Amino acid sequence: MPKKSFPTEPDDAGFFFASQEDQDQEIRTKRYPNGSEIKELKLSGGQTAVVRKLRGRDFVETKKMVQGSPQMDFETVNMSVAVTIDGEKKPPEYYLDDLFQADYSKLIIAYGILNFQ
């Protein structure tokens, strides 16, 4: 069997698998002409999560949220700015209290790839 090359070709909606790891985890990527990117994935409960590449103003929003709630960690707050679940924004507490660790980990990896590589 020939080795698959990555990234794969985009589907009709513009989504593709950026790597073998993304394909294994079913994390699809979409790039926009303005340089923005999103990653779409399914959580264990069937919800669709979309993680977006953040902009500078998002850092300021995260900083304000962390300053207002010192017990929150930067990564979770910043991820809450970057992610929608079934089209809705969720507060940082949602990611800590309502998600299973496997889902949290999957999201933090997609968030990290888009925003720190």
- The structure's pTM equals 0.89
Establish if 10 belongs to a structural domain: no
Query: What are the pLDDT digits (tens) for 5-58?
Result: 999 999 999 999 999 999 999 999 999 999 999 999 999 999 999 999 999 999
How many structural domains are present in the chain? Answer: 1
Query: What are the pLDDT digits (tens) for 70-100?
Result: 788 889 999 999 999 999 999 999 999 999 9
**What whole-number percentage of the chain has pLDDT above 70?**
98
Establish if 81 belongs to a structural domain: yes
Range of the domain at 52: 42-116
Establish if 25 belongs to a structural domain: no
Establish if 1 belongs to a structural domain: no
Establish if 61 belongs to a structural domain: yes
What 3 state SS string does 62-103 have? HHHHHHHCCCCCHHHHHHHHHEEECCEECCHHHHHHCCCHHH
Work out the mean pLDDT of the chain and round it to a whole number: 93
Peptide bond into 10 cis (omega under 30): no
Residue 30 has φ and ψ, to the nearest 5°, of -135, 130
Residues paired with 52 in a beta bridge? 38
